[in-house]
């Protein structure tokens, strides 16, 4: 704490960040990102990776801070959006919202749907704000600690991160290891790092720049999610009755939200599917601490607020290792790392000093995005209920054409949509075999950097 208070660069950095975000266009983009993220989170079967992938091509045309803020807004907006379907329909919009379902849906069935949505919104807001504060306080500490990492240390951290993801991802360690290695191999074609020679192009000039990240993301999560939903009986699952929305009355789970925020922040810093881990851990903690544990499973407010706060706190905290260490802790952060590379922002311990406008501007955007999330969440509960009831047959053609157009823009040619379709079919094959595509994407983004650090380390001692 003394280091933070004695460090004038933090205050000047925050001031620079606030100056950087004085733009109506930026706020509209943040608002759009949060709204789109919440919308995507509400739609069952369509997760935030797909929404981020759809808007990924915008990174090429927007300036760095607005582009990254837009994608970030989708991320934490979707964390809240997933809770909406969990509470209203008993269908988790994404994996992180499963723990929310345990208490949120019984509350909705008991006629307290709007209260439950409001509690989830306030809990998400609490988690996001406290986590953002943690990032501000942690930045000098993490920056100084990261300076001790050379190429060998960075390579070791990345390898450990991939192994940790392998052992904590759904499907088991062997399947996840296969996915990670497949991701590393997919990242090989094109120019070799350090040496700059072409490799594994098999005579195709289209592979000279490697597999395109946008096409991979859109294929794996856009078309892949779509095909997976069509292969299951997805349409039937959306036709559930939803509870009416009575007015808000209760805010008794603030302490649970605080505990969840701290838990989520700490787990968000490490790479192991933090949102899911944090939300389940928070639910278990609240049940352990509650004076009335028998209420859990029947609509306990603490069991709703804690997981929601931890979920959003973990989402915010995952920005810290990404920005300060260049280490993505989940596939969404991996996509953001790709976006940062495209816009020319080099994440690392020197980022707060070398690009203070961007770094502190992004933190201010994260804070204000949480405020917007609070306003939208409290104001749009009825709208989410309507959107979640739209027939899936009207939504998936839109998703499909957005994926194809986006992949065309990303690759600036027909190879993009071809790769997108290939990865969509690959995603189906992987899911049919119990493999999650998330470790593959993480490894794809980390692979070139891991190879670079490893080669640098070996060359320094050879």
Q: Which two tokens stand for residue 352?
A: 């707060």
Nearer to other proteins, 135 or 182 (CB): 182
Binder among 168, 295, 341, 405 for other proteins (CB under 8 A):
405
Q: Does position 164 bind other proteins by CB under 8 A?
A: no
Q: Output the smallest distance, CB 266 to other proteins, in A.
A: 31
Residue 159 engages other proteins in binding (rule: CB under 8 A):
no
- Determine contact, residues 137/345, Cβ cutoff 8 Å: no
Among 231, 289, 346, 375, binds other proteins (CB under 8 A): 231
| 194 touching other proteins, by CB under 8 A | yes
Candidates 3-11, 128-136, 345-353, 389-397: pick the segment binding other proteins (CB under 8 A): 389-397
Considering beta carbons, is residue 111 or 397 the nearer one to other proteins? Answer: 397
145-160 per-residue burial string, b: 16 or more CB within 10 A, e: under 16: ebeebebeebbbbbee
Rounded (5°) CA angle 412-413-417: 105
CA distance 165 to 290: 32
Residues 425-444: x where in contact with other proteins by CB under 8 A, - otherwise, as a string? xx-xxx-xxxx---------
Token pair belonging to 244: 């009416």
Measured from the CB atom, the residue of 262 and 418 that comes closer to other proteins is: 418
| Dihedral angle computed from the Cα positions of residues 459, 153, 196 and 446, in that order, rounded to the nearest 10 degrees | 150
The CA-atom distances, in angstroms, between 389 and each of 241, 357, 386 are 9, 42, 5
Best CA proximity match to 75, nearest among 396, 256, 317 = 317
25 touches other proteins by CB under 8 A: no
**Can residue 207 be called a binding residue for other proteins (CB under 8 A)?**
no
State the pairing for strand pair 198-199/190-191: antiparallel
**Residue 165 engages other proteins in binding (rule: CB under 8 A):** no
Binder of other proteins out of 251, 262, 343, 400 (CB under 8 A): 400
* 160-to-173, 178, 249 alpha-carbon distances in Å: 14, 16, 46
Ranges within 40-99 binding other proteins (CB under 8 A): 58, 61
The helix/strand/coil state of 190 is strand
Identify whether the C-beta of residue 171 lies closer than 8 Å to the C-beta of residue 438. no
Please identify, using beta-carbon distances, which residue of 18 and 425 lies nearer to other proteins.
425
Cβ atoms of 50 and 81 closer than 8 Å: no
Closest to other proteins by CB, 173 vs 255, is: 173
Q: Which spans of this chain sit near other proteins (rule: CB under 8 A)?
A: 58, 61, 172, 174-175, 177-178, 181-182, 184-186, 188, 192, 194-195, 197, 199-200, 202, 223, 226-227, 230-233, 393-394, 396-398, 400-402, 404-405, 408-409, 414, 417-418, 420-421, 424-426, 428-430, 432-435, 447, 451, 454-455, 458-459, 462
């Amino acid at each position: 704490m003394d280091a933070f208070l004695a460090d004038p660069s933090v205050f000047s950095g925050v001031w620079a960040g606030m100056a950087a975000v004085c733009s109506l266009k930026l706020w509209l983009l943040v608002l759009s990102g949060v709204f789109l993220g919440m919308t995507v989170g509400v739609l069952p079967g369509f997760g935030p990776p797909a929404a981020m992938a759809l808007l990924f091509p915008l990174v090429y045309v927007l300036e760095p801070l607005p582009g990254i803020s837009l994608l970030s807004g989708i991320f934490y907006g979707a964390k809240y959006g997933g809770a909406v379907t969990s509470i209203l329909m008993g269908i988790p919009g994404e994996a992180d919202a499963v723990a929310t379902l345990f208490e949120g849906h019984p509350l909705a069935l008991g006629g307290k749907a709007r209260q439950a949505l409001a509690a989830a919104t306030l809990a998400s807001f609490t988690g996001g704000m406290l986590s953002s504060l943690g990032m501000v306080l942690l930045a000098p500490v993490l920056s100084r600690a990261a300076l001790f990492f050379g190429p060998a240390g960075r390579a070791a951290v990345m390898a450990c991160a991939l192994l940790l993801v392998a052992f904590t991802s759904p499907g088991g360690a062997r399947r996840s290891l296969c996915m990670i290695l497949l991701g590393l191999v997919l990242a090989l074609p094109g120019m070799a790092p350090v040496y700059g020679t072409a490799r594994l192009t098999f005579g195709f000039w289209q592979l000279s720049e490697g597999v395109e990240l946008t096409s991979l993301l859109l294929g794996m999560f856009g078309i892949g999610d779509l095909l997976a939903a069509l292969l299951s009986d997805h349409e039937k699952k959306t036709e559930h009755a939803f509870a009416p929305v009575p007015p808000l009355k209760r805010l008794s789970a603030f302490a649970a939200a605080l505990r969840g925020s701290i838990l989520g922040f700490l787990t968000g810093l490490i790479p192991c599917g933090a949102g899911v881990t944090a939300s389940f851990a928070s639910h278990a903690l609240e049940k352990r601490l509650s004076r009335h544990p028998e209420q859990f499973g029947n609509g306990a407010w603490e069991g709703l607020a804690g997981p929601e706060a931890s979920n959003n706190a973990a989402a915010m905290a995952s920005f810290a290792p990404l920005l300060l260490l260049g280490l993505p802790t989940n596939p969404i952060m991996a996509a953001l790392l790709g976006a940062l590379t495209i816009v020319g922002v080099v994440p690392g311990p020197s980022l707060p000093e070398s690009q203070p406008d961007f770094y502190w501007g992004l933190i201010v955007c994260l804070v204000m995005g949480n405020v917007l999330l609070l306003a939208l969440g409290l104001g749009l509960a009825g709208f989410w209920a309507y959107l979640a009831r739209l027939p899936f047959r009207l939504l998936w053609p839109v998703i499909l054409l957005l994926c194809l157009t986006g992949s065309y823009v990303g690759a600036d040619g027909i190879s993009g949509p071809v790769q997108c379709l290939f990865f969509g079919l690959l995603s189906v094959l992987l899911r049919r075999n119990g493999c999650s595509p998330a470790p593959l994407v993480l490894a794809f983004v980390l692979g070139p950097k891991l190879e670079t650090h490893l080669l640098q380390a070996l060359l320094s001692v050879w």
